[in-house]
Structure 1
Amino acid sequence: MATSRGGAIGPALVLHLAVLAIVVVSEIIGLIRVPIGIGAVILLPILYAFALGIIFNPNVLKATGRVLNHDATKLAGTMITIAIMPFIARFGTTVGPQIEKIIAAGPALILQELGNLGTILIAFPVAVFLLRMGREAIGASYSIDREPNLALIADKYGLNSPEGAGAMGVYATGTLIGTFVFALMPPLVHGLGIFDVRALAMSCGVGSGSMLAACTGGLVAAVPDQKDLILALAAASNILTYATGLYAGLFLALPLTEWLYRTCAPADRASTMH
């Protein structure tokens, strides 16, 4: 038993030291602004940390496998959920002081959940007609496929199904590049002067902790004087996404995507429906 505990301490210690080193390097680099026309791309420490994490992944850089073994990488996946909890709790504390402004934006906060249907309008035609996907297109395009959406697909089809494969593919892709996109887009879109900063703040709450962090970080860097309002609206939006997103997916998005697939899929792929 003692050997088992000692063996578990090794990977955990190595993993924490590696994470600490990545965080220190990322913070030393700091925030970088890259002007682009009327806007600017804001590079945040979270982007560097994410990039370094990918680079030093043993599946990418084989040399790191000598230090970060299978046990360490497996532990890293488990730690993501635990590590994000204090961050979500921190966001929750920003809601109270801004409650009046959040209530004032109430209808917009609730109706913005319908914006999730936009993933179907954009992604479904690409999946079916351009990429020629089969029923994987249903799982891949009915939502941005974060944890609640994966649970819905797992319950309805199973993750070993074509729909499950599509959902898992988008989940993995979102985890890899979603942070970058959500960090870069808000300051660029804000620079266009089209959307109110409150709308952009609400758009950060898509039900993903890492995307929420990257999005609000970029937006706060662009509009620092609105920091408290941005964090409060983003947190409230994220909470509502968790609360209502599952039902929107179950009763609206998934049935709509199923209908679109039955209607639009070519006969050779539609015949594979179960």
Structure 2
Amino acid sequence: MAPVKFTRKEIEARNSREEAAIIIDNVVYDVTEFLEDHPGGVDVLLDNAGKDASQCFADVGHSDIAMEWREKFVIGEVVDEERWPEVKRVVHEPPPAEPFSLAALLNVWGPPLVLAGFATLQAARAAIMTSKQFTREEISKWKSENKTDTVFIIDNVVYDVTKFLDEHPGGHEVLQNVAGKDASEDFDDVGHSLDAKDLMQKYKVGEIVESERVYAQKRQISWEDNKQENDSSFTSSWKFPVLLGIVVTLLYSYLFG
């Protein structure tokens, strides 16, 4: 069955709570019944009712779930003679990588180590080259415009944990509280296990652009630091006065006993 065709003039009349229609990439959506359920609020849809909302929709960066959900509200298309070019979302591409040289690695690491891990290195390089890159502003906007999505940053990596909310051992509130933010410090403070860190990989959706990456300063602990801490903890604990008392008693018995 051929889709129903609308002129842009016909859509302009559907700009109220009683009848709200919008155009996205030449497809017409009737969002009247979705106004109160829209995660971004009623006003966003009403402001675009009767208009072409392609650019607005692309700028927000909706999730795959949202892209599928909108298909429920399709009622037709714009007539052929009034169609506009589709709006594409801008994605920050990673900078070109340096040429990958196996010979250089062989010289530095030696054949056994390089050959053993070559497949892993190639896979990791491929993953980096195809990874989407986001600005911090995009992640912040993602939160404000998509209130049902939970996306945050950990060590310059972007994660979408929306589907993990109900499974998180610490509760969904912990994750939602850092949505749209850099959660690196919070993640480190909790002290997650290696299994938890491995699990996070399935929710990775990209990385922060190189110019906005932040690298945490790790505290270097030397043997002297450990020695001082151990000495300090010993002298300030109950063990030191007890041991001192025993030594004094033995010395007194030896001299005057």
TM-score by length of 2: 0.24
More relative contact order, 1 or 2 (CA 8 Å, 6+ apart): 1
Which of the two has greater strand per residue?
2
Between Structure 1 and Structure 2, the one with more helix by share is 1
